[in-house]
Amino acid sequence: MSSIATTLTKIQTVDLPRPAIDRTAALVITDAIRATGLGPGAQFYFDPTSVEALGLLLAFGEPSIDPTPQTRFTRAVQRSSPNRESLELEIPIEGLQALDIDAHIPDSARVMELSVWAGSQLLGFGISE
């Protein structure tokens, strides 16, 4: 993980939901999002090239002033339901591909786990060993 380890702290491990892999993966990562100092509506920009360089998929966050449309690599933090405090964030398919998660081969016997790191307005995702 190189020097990024001094910036990020491992916060949680989550199961990657299999049914969503053909498009994006929405993860309930409330603790990690809160550790970034951001909350609902915050925008995260995913950098798939970071996996090759650092071994983690990085997502750079910023508070959202205006609701901006989703772009190819940008996703907004959402509440998992209107009455709950749980927060979720989708990982774009390009991010999953950069992590070598094969989105096209179903493997129901195996649950894929992702480790989630967080720092100030920064998230990191990696395959759990």
- Name the more confident of 128 and 123: 123
Rounded to an integer, the average pLDDT of 16-44 is 81
Question: Is the pTM above the cut of 0.75?
Answer: yes
What is the SS3 assignment for the chain? CHHHHHCCEEEEEEECCHHHCCCCEEEECHHHHHHCCCCCCCEEEEECHHHHHHCCEEEEEECCCCCCCCCCCEEECEECCCCCCCEEEEECHHHHHHCCCCCCCCCCCCCCEEEEEEECCEEEEEECC
- Name the more confident of 69 and 15: 15
HSE-CB of 70 using CA atoms within 13 angstroms? 12
pLDDT for 18 equals 62
Q: Chain centroid to CA 53: how far? A: 17
pLDDT for 51 equals 95
- Rounded Cα distance between 118 and 73, Å, is 18
Domain borders along the chain are 9-117
pLDDT band, residue 107 (cuts 50/70/90): low
Which tokens in the block code for residue 53? 């360089």
pLDDT for 60 equals 96
Average pLDDT, the chain: 83
Rounded to an integer, the average pLDDT of 112-124 is 94
